[in-house]
Amino acid sequence: MKSKITVVGAGNVGAQCAYRLAQREAGDIVLIDIIEGVPQGKALDMSQSAAVEGFNSAILGTNNYEDTKDSAVVVVTAGLPRKPGMTREDLISKNAAITKSVVENVVKYSPNSVILMVANPLDILTYYALRVTQFPPQRILGMAPLLDAARMGYFIAQAAKVPINDVYAEVLGSHGDLMVPIPRLSTIKGKPITDILSAEQIKQIVDKTTNGGAEIVGLLKTGSAYYAPGAAAARMAESIVKDKKEVIGTCCYLTGQFGIKDVCLGVPAKLGKNGIEEIVEINLTAEEISALQKAATSVKSLYPLLNL
């Protein structure tokens, strides 16, 4: 029997995620949205591509949470996108209300699911979903670190003029200005980029990575990134439902790892059928730990806005 994966939000990110999951045959897909006709239309369009793409995953578009019952993974993309000049923090109050409604329905219809948060501000909404659902921490996680690492990997490949498959990028911390790219652990064919690229090139890569989402928002003017976020969310959902045990940068609830507690931050984690199977505590320098702690403090400073 195929696993059921629900994608909440049939906007650009949600639709991309659902389509990627169908192409990967990760399971049967339910695409849900509050706007009548939109998830149904997009699901029908995707389903009609199956003969071309050669996949056999069923895709259902719906406005009814009953159709999501017994989902193994629920990907939450529903939320307002950033607009030019808007920070992620500006989105908190509106997107927290949306998140609350969504995850309460998840608890009702799929109480044993793993929830993968994608909506921004990612770190604080992942924490909020954890508090609202009261799920075990391993079953609430966020997508952004994989996305940030993908962006950094692209910029490394461009700077070094190498195939993207030769590159590994490590990014920790929060999804935003206080993310923590780790150049010394980022590699080209296994060799640290600090041995290959100049300090100036690395600085440019870090700056571009940190501003990766904002740059796209500025260029699009009426929306935000969706190809890479959708692909990242699909990769993580697939890793969970197929119990791959892959180590992927994940927004996790920390309970003392890296000396940090009671906050959701990006760290390496092994993903499987139970969600976060293990948080991998890689060795960090004092400077990197300090940057991670700074990010934690920043995320925690937003807690009062959640009215928990």
Crossing angle, helix 227-241 and helix 12-23, to 10 degrees? 50
Q: Which residue among 175, 210, 226, 271 is the active-site one? A: 175
CATH class given for the domain over 4-143: alpha beta
Q: In the chain, which residues fall in CATH 3.90.110.10?
A: 145-306
Instruction: Please state whether the peptide bond connecting residue 304 to the residue before it is cis, i.e. omega within 30 degrees of 0.
Output: no
Task: Report the C-alpha gap between 24 and 80 in whole angstroms.
Answer: 27
Joined together, the tokens standing for residue 71 give 């989902």
Note the helical H segments in 49-179. Answer: 50-53, 92-109, 122-133, 144-160
**Direct distance between the N- and C-terminal alpha carbons of the chain, in angstroms, rounded to an integer:** 39
- Whether the full predicted model's pTM is greater than 0.85, yes or no, is yes
Domain at 145-306: CATH code: 3.90.110.10
What are the pLDDT tens digits along the chain (308 aa)?
Answer: 789 999 999 999 999 999 999 999 999 999 999 999 999 999 999 999 999 999 999 999 999 999 999 999 999 999 887 666 766 567 788 899 999 999 999 999 999 999 999 998 999 999 999 999 999 999 999 999 999 999 999 999 999 999 999 999 999 999 988 999 999 999 999 999 999 999 999 999 999 999 999 899 899 988 889 999 999 999 999 999 999 999 999 999 999 999 999 999 999 999 999 999 999 999 999 999 999 999 999 999 999 989 87
Catalytic (active site) residue 21: no
Q: In the chain, which residues fall in CATH 3.40.50.720?
A: 4-143
